[in-house]
């Protein structure tokens, strides 16, 4: 039983961490918490099943097509739900705009795809039991994404431009950086990360329209626990959440496991409001 708890906990934790990183990537260049992050993860599973099982594409081509579809949704998020409200961040209108878009994505998916969970294809056929690919694939995907982001931000000019906009978009604009274009590309990057999360976890979570709502919440918890904008904190928080959740599922089960997650979430935030790895911000008094 312990092996099952660890395998499923790490797999789900890796998915939550990827959705948390999706939140952070969109937030970094726009200061907007976009509630479409979970829907991007849901689309990764639904589009993957659509392209591979229903349309018969090879897995590698279905993967590319899935990420392309998610990337287009990332652009749509920035254009439709984020850009119009950037001048009103102090009024938090982005909560309404991104949540409305998330609900639209979910309802359209339910209408076109169906409301029942549908299977996701096996991609490699490697492993069985606790070593099955549905458990290790999300973990490998998460590790590759984290390493890829570290390389992007530390070794490439584009990544450094992303960091400059995230640090101070006004100063970045004054230095001649194309702030608007970089913001759009950051949403494309975030959407690709969300798509990878959904695609890698398709065998574990199935292709289901309601996964978006679940991932929206459980993907936000690592952001709050690890500190907003901190990808390493999201990684640690996501893995810890996954292990805790699966242990609660095996011990108390059902709704009590969800209650346990809520209690943990509240206790940590009461003790460390800025998150375990976040830095407290000074305010004028």
Asked whether 228 and 276 are in contact (CB, 8 A), the reply is no
Residue at 247 is within a domain: yes
- Distances from the Cα of 231 to the Cα of 17, 20, 132, 189, angstroms: 8, 8, 27, 14
Residue at 149 is within a domain: yes
Following DSSP, what letter does each residue of 42-88 receive, concatenated? HHHHHHHHIIIIIS---HHHHHHHHHHHHHHHHHHIIIIIIGGGGGG
d(CA 202, CA 199): 5
CATH code at 224? 1.10.3470
Residue at 262 is within a domain: yes
Q: Report angle CA 79, 110, 65 to the nearest 5 degrees.
A: 60
Asked whether 38 and 19 are in contact (CB, 8 A), the reply is yes
Residue at 179 is within a domain: yes
Closest CA relative to residue 99, chosen from 37, 16, 10: 37
212 membership: H or E segment, kind and range:
helix 211-226
Residue at 277 is within a domain: no
What's the pTM?
Answer: 0.92
Residue at 256 is within a domain: yes
Could you read off the pLDDT tens digit of each residue along the chain, which spans 285 residues?
788 889 999 999 999 999 999 999 999 888 888 999 999 999 999 999 999 999 999 999 999 999 999 999 999 999 999 998 887 766 678 888 999 999 999 999 999 999 999 999 999 988 888 889 999 999 999 999 999 999 999 999 989 998 888 887 778 877 788 888 999 999 999 999 999 999 999 999 999 999 999 999 999 989 988 888 889 889 999 999 999 999 888 888 777 777 888 887 888 878 877 776 765 554 444
Total domains, the chain: 1
Residue at 34 is within a domain: yes
Q: State which residues form the domain around 74.
A: 1-271
Residue at 281 is within a domain: no
């Amino acid at each position: 039983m312990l092996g099952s708890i660890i395998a499923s906990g790490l797999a789900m934790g890796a998915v939550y961490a990827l959705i948390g990183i999706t939140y952070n990537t969109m937030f970094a260049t726009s200061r907007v918490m976009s509630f479409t992050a979970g829907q991007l993860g849901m689309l990764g599973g639904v589009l993957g099943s659509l392209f591979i099982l229903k349309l018969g594409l090879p897995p590698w081509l279905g993967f590319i097509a899935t990420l392309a579809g998610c990337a287009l949704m990332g652009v749509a998020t920035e254009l439709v739900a984020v850009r119009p409200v950037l001048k009103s961040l102090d009024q938090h209108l982005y909560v309404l705009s991104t949540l409305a878009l998330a609900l639209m994505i979910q309802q359209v998916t339910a209408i076109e795809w169906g409301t029942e969970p549908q299977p996701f294809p096996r991609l490699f056929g490697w492993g069985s039991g606790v070593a099955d690919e549905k458990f290790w694939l999300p973990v490998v995907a998460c590790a590759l994404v984290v390493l890829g982001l570290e390389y992007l931000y530390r070794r490439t000019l584009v990544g450094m431009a992303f960091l400059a906009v995230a640090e101070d978009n006004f100063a970045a604009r004054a230095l001649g950086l194309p702030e608007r274009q970089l913001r759009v590309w950051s949403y494309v990057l975030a959407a690709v990360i969300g798509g990878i999360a959904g695609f890698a976890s398709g065998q574990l979570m199935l292709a289901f329209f309601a996964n978006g709502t679940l991932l929206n919440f459980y993907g936000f918890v690592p952001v709050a626990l690890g500190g907003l904008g901190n990808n390493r904190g999201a990684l640690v928080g996501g893995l810890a959440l996954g292990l805790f959740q699966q242990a609660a599922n095996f011990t108390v089960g059902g709704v009590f496991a969800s209650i346990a997650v809520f209690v943990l979430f509240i206790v940590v935030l009461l003790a460390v409001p800025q998150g375990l790895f976040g830095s407290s911000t000074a305010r004028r008094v």
